[in-house]
């Protein structure tokens, strides 16, 4: 019997690195790990194969899904539901509510570990993250720090060295577009921009 785990943190908190280390640990114990990520995260593809890649250099091939995919069908296609299998989802904030509900049902049979952001650059919950908070068996914050040394909780979108608070929720990027910071520094920078 499995559980549904949600491990979340601000950008740069090593969520993907931890997902890849978790994959390695399960494989060392003889489990088959199915690593997945949303297809909209197209930053890492090599020779036509989708990859999950961390900032510290850990990398692994993965399966991709999109917002219209059904996880029951994916699990059936790849024979994922088996007592020696584990499902790991990276960038899980991009899941739909319905997909999270499907993963919850799947987690009654195998472990399902989801890694991702809690909130978007507007400091609002992502749809997938919201549902994961509501129904996961285990929630774990992966902490990182702001430049000031406090805990980072905000994923600020930065354009021309200014925080942006309007626009589309989805804008895939890394350090070139986003900066994780504490709420205090976030508010301070917003006030400085207005004055």
| Active-site position among 73, 91, 124, 176 | 91
CB 114 within 8 A of CB 92: yes
Contacts of 189 (CB under 8 A, 6+ apart): 156, 163, 181
Q: What residues does 89 pair with on adjacent strands? A: 36, 114
Whole-angstrom distance, CA of residue 19 vs CA of residue 25: 10
CB 7 within 8 A of CB 115: yes
Closest CA to 54 of 8, 15, 105, 3: 15
- Alpha helix stretches (DSSP H) within the chain: 15-28, 71-77, 97-106, 127-135, 183-194
Residue 8, exposed/middle/buried by CB under 10 A (0-12, 13-18, 19+)? buried
Residue 91 designated active-site: yes
Active-site residues, by number, are 91
């Amino acid at each position: 019997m499995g559980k549904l785990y949600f491990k979340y943190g601000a950008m740069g908190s090593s969520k993907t690195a931890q997902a890849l280390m978790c994959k390695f640990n399960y494989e060392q114990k003889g489990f088959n790990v199915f690593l997945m990520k949303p297809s909209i995260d197209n930053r890492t593809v090599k020779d036509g194969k989708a990859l999950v890649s961390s900032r510290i250099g850990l990398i692994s091939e993965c399966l991709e899904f999109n917002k219209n995919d059904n996880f029951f069908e994916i699990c059936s296609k790849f024979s994922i539901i088996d007592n020696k299998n584990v499902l790991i989802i990276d960038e899980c904030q991009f899941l739909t509510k319905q997909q999270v509900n499907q993963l919850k049902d799947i987690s009654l049979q195998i472990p399902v570990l989801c890694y991702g952001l809690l909130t978007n650059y507007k400091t609002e919950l992502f749809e997938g993250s919201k549902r994961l908070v509501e129904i996961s068996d285990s929630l774990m914050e992966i902490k990182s720090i702001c430049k000031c040394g406090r805990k980072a909780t905000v994923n600020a979108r930065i354009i021309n060295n200014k925080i942006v608070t309007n626009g589309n929720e989805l804008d895939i990027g890394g350090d070139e577009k986003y900066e994780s910071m504490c709420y205090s520094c976030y508010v301070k920078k917003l006030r400085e921009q207005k004055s």
